[in-house]
Amino acid sequence: MERILFYVIAIIAIVFALASVISRKMLRSVIYLLFVLCSIAGVYFMMDYNFLAAIQLTVYAGGIVVLIIFSVLLVHHIELELEIAKFPKQLATGLLCLAGLGVFLYTIYMHDFQVIGNQTTTSTHDIGSKLLSYEEGGFILPFEVISILLLAVMVGAIILAKGTLTSNSETKQP
Amino acid sequence: MIPGVSIYEIFTVTTLLFFIGVYGFITRKNLISILISIELILNSSVVNFVAINKYLYPDMLEGVVFAIFIIAVAAAETALAVSIIISLYRQISAVEVKDIETMKY
């Protein structure tokens, strides 16, 4: 049962990833990306990491995709067809990617992974106390660094997206 | 672990997603499409972290924590990239890769 479900989710993810890379309509490509992200959240649910799946759905599917849709609507006309690479370049890139895929898959299938088959479920409580513990193996410092980084990015994004208006109204300096 | 699904199958799926992202990154000519390809690449690497944590070290939590950090960095990167794209569009009215040599100082 889980096996069939995983195959369905994997096929959905790969097909929509291909569609989002190939599609020539911008907005459709973003919506296909949304399907890929949701199916990856499904993989997390099947691996019993509910918290991670919730993060994936809220941050990626809720935040990033909406941000990209906003930028598409601000920047493009919806009916605009995208310029796409020439066919020889596409073919060369495809062959290169297939070669890399072969190398990666060969390496993965040659390596013998020591799979441990116990069924422990990790609760959100464990993840939270791991993130905030300052004993050995705790992650309090990266947690604080990432929060400072997010704050800096927020300020920087506001300044970047807003700054050109004020600089245009002032005297034009090179 | 997912019953009946080996770690090799999960790695196959993530490798496919990764190379689809690389293909899009190289062939697309548009900044937002390149951003979408980067999201695909980041997502496949996050699934790898989580799968290795679940299958090989089920008692640890490092993979999950790193997955959370990667997602946070991806969100920050997307916000900055979108703001850069919008401010570029204000200045030169284009988001194609070949038109943005004005970013060179």
A14 token code pair: 């790969």
Q: Confidence band (pLDDT; 50, 70, 90) for B92?
A: confident
Q: Do the chains contact at A84 and B29, CB–CB below 8 Å?
A: yes
Number of H helices, E strands in chain A: 7, 0
The half-sphere exposure of A36 on its side-chain side, counting CA atoms within 13 A, is: 32
Q: Confirm whether pTM is higher than 0.80.
A: yes
**Inter-chain contact B33–A3, Cβ cutoff 8 Å?**
no
Helix (H) or strand (E) holding A94: helix A87-110
- Over the range A77-99, which residues count as b (16 or more CB within 10 Å of their CB) and which as e? eeeeebebeeeeeeeebeeebee
Mutation target to probe the A interface, by most A beta carbons within 10 A, among B27, B96, B98 is B27
Segment A71-87, tens digit of pLDDT: 888 887 666 667 777 88
Q: Which of B89, B29, B85 lies closest to A83 in space, CA to CA? A: B29
In tens, the pLDDT along B4-18 reads 788 899 999 999 999
Question: DSSP string spanning A131-150?
Answer: HH--STT--HHHHHHHHHHH
What spatial distance separates the first Cα and last Cα of chain B, rounded to whole Å?
51
Nearest one of B66, B72, B24, B75 to B45, comparing CA atoms: B66
Show the domains of chain B with their CATH numbers.
7-103 (1.10.287.3510)
Gap between the Cα atoms of A35 and B36, Å rounded:
13
User: What are the backbone dihedrals phi and psi of residue A137, each rounded to the nearest 5 degrees, phi first?
Assistant: 85, 5
Determine the longest span between alpha carbons in chain A, in angstroms. Answer: 67
Which of B46, B78, B88 to mutate to probe the A interface, most A CBs <10 Å?
Answer: B78
Judge whether A97 is closer than 8 Å to chain B, CB to CB: yes
SS3 A83: coil
Beta carbons of A84 and B27 less than 8 angstroms apart: yes
> Taking CB atoms and an 8 Å limit, are B19 and A83 in contact across chains?
no
For chain B, what's the residue count? 105
pLDDT by residue (tens digit) across A94-139? 999 999 999 999 999 998 888 887 777 778 888 888 888 888 878 8
